Structure 1
Amino acid sequence: MSESSVLSTVDGPIGLITINRPAVHNALSTPLLLELENALIAFEQDERVRVIVVTGAGEKAFIAGGDLSEMSARDGLAHYLDFAEIIHRLFRRFESCDKPTIAAVNGWALGGGTELLLCLDIRLVADTAQLGLPEINLGLFPGAGGSQRLMRQVAPCMAKELMFTGERISAGEAVRIGLANRVVPKAELMDEAMALARKIAVKSPLVLKLLKRALRDGADMPLPSALAHEQAVISLVLDTQDAHEGMSAFLEKRQAVFTGR
């Protein structure tokens, strides 16, 4: 029996997803995407899991792009109805996930790897990692959301240069342009990602859910509408037990215990 292309493990309140096709640098195939979708859904529904960490197996790659042997065998309509439909649905699901997500980028994040990165909340990159959208070199352009999300997350001139040239950038450059949070020595990457996940996991899962929704929804609104949306959502937060537990714990000089209610 072949090993799964996606490995899922639970470590306390942390759900860890590992893309597991190291022989092909964790290239994204249709079966892998469906496995990844199932893993994400399982963690979304698992009440034990408060934070989700995503990484790649092997020494070289986080995700080195799409599986070209599969993509090249397809014409446009078949691609649109099959692979493209699945990857857009999945990446949007990561982007809309109510639980905080962390990328632990252990190596190359190219093409679909960078496009997935754009959907995750916090991005830690190993000092050996390289990022980029090299699709233009193949006569393509980023088609899993990258052409739209990158323009919204870094300066448009930088986004265009990355997509027009297809060049890779270093981990440090990714941080400099705002594509990642920080560079971590590769040997320390998973420890730091898990430590960060645990730091977030002790917060209220319900308030994190409402905060993520306020951030996500507000990003597509004009500022006056976004502020009104924030006002409504923070009012909902004040109806939660966790909000009153947090304020009481502060006043009583003790550690808050958040239950998600």
Structure 2
Amino acid sequence: MGGTEHLTVQREGATLVLTLNRPEARNALSLPMLVGLHDGWLEADADDSVRSIVFTGAGGSFCSGMDLKALAGNGMAGEEYRDRLKADPDLHWKAMLRHHRPRKPVIAAVEGPCVAGGTEMLQGTDIRVAAESATFGLFEVRRGLFPIGGSTVRLQRQIPRTHALEMLLTGRPYSAREAAAIGLVGHVVPDGTALDAALEIAERINSCGPLAVEAVKASVYETAEMTESDGLAAELARGWPVFDTADAKEGARAFAEKRPPVFKRA
């Protein structure tokens, strides 16, 4: 498994856990973090034994966004990774899920601040769990900056436009309960339990047919901006092949035999 000094990679059964690990800076983005995230997403995609991904942060924070001290000229941590960015100028956008969508479901487990770039990365995840004291927000306009991680496009597609515009234009913080009320997160749990709750969701996903899960996720995103008729046609194209898999037959057989299915991604 990969990882860097600011990004840890662990396995929990069939789940790959990616943890932002720069707690002294509230997990502000750094070059080692971005490189580790990029490699972690690709590792999950390439490993068929990984069925889900949990994305979280260490030390009671998710991510406080860009390292503003570094932006002001004090130097970005991990300059030795600069050659990776030169080799792939799009690496940071892939790392932040702006230009990459993992084929496995991604579940965010948020404790503490998830603001600016943290809220932007959150929009690239599929299922979101927040602790009671988690905070969200796009603070860029307060600094004279632009939320260029995708928020002016994605946020209005994920929550009502009036809420998206308020978040984008005021730069104010949102509590976990507010975030749940507008649909930015799906679950609010007691502090300190977000990771456990996310892993529970991941385990439910892991018990399902992996080919079916990946096809369903792909279909949801593929059809999101289509007309209904085009979307239904695309759904059939994605869905029918799943019925011809050995896993589909195993699922039916296991149901008839009243036992858990043993899926083999076949």
Structure 2 length as normaliser, TM-score?
0.89
Name whichever of 82-91 and 111-120 sits farther off: 82-91
Which of 244, 252, 257 is matched with 2:249 structurally? Answer: 244
Report how far residue 137 of structure 1 moved.
Answer: 0.4
Change (3 A) 1:191 1:89: closer
Instruction: Classify the secondary structure of the residue corresponding to 1:9.
Output: strand
Structure 1 length as normaliser, TM-score?
0.91
> Residue 66 in 1 paired to residue 66 in 2?
yes
Partner of 1:235: 240
Partner of 2:213: 208
Partner of 1:96: 101
Partner of 1:77: none
Residue type of the alignment partner of 2:221: R
Residue type of the alignment partner of 1:152: R
> Residue 148 in 1 paired to residue 149 in 2?
no
Counterpart CA distance in 2 for 1:55 and 1:173 is: 20
Counterpart CA distance in 2 for 1:88 and 1:259 is: 33
Name whichever of 127-136 and 83-92 sits farther off: 83-92
Change (3 A) 1:23 1:84: farther
Residue type of the alignment partner of 1:64: S
Instruction: Classify the secondary structure of the residue corresponding to 1:187.
Output: coil
- For the 8 Å contact 1:88–1:145, the answer to whether it is kept is no
Residues paired across the two proteins, number: 252
> Residue 174 in 1 paired to residue 168 in 2?
no
Counterpart CA distance in 2 for 1:119 and 1:229 is: 22
Which of 103, 112, 116 is matched with 2:117 structurally? Answer: 112
- For the 8 Å contact 1:98–1:208, the answer to whether it is kept is no
Counterpart CA distance in 2 for 1:141 and 1:252 is: 56
Name whichever of 245-254 and 209-218 sits farther off: 245-254
Which of 197, 214, 222 is matched with 1:217 structurally? Answer: 222
Q: Identity across aligned pairs (percent)?
A: 38
Which of 123, 128, 134 is matched with 1:123 structurally? Answer: 128
Report how far residue 92 of structure 1 moved.
Answer: 3.7
- For the 8 Å contact 2:109–2:130, the answer to whether it is kept is yes
Partner of 1:54: 55
* Unmatched runs of 5 consecutive residues or more in structure 2: 75-84
Counterpart CA distance in 2 for 1:143 and 1:100 is: 24
Instruction: Classify the secondary structure of the residue corresponding to 1:194.
Output: helix
RMSD over aligned Cα, in angstroms?
Answer: 2.0
Counterpart CA distance in 2 for 1:32 and 1:255 is: 38
Change (3 A) 1:84 1:143: farther
* Unmatched runs of 5 consecutive residues or more in structure 1: 75-80
Deviations 1:22-53 (Å, cap 9, x if unpaired)? 11110012332112111221222222211110
- For the 8 Å contact 1:55–1:62, the answer to whether it is kept is yes
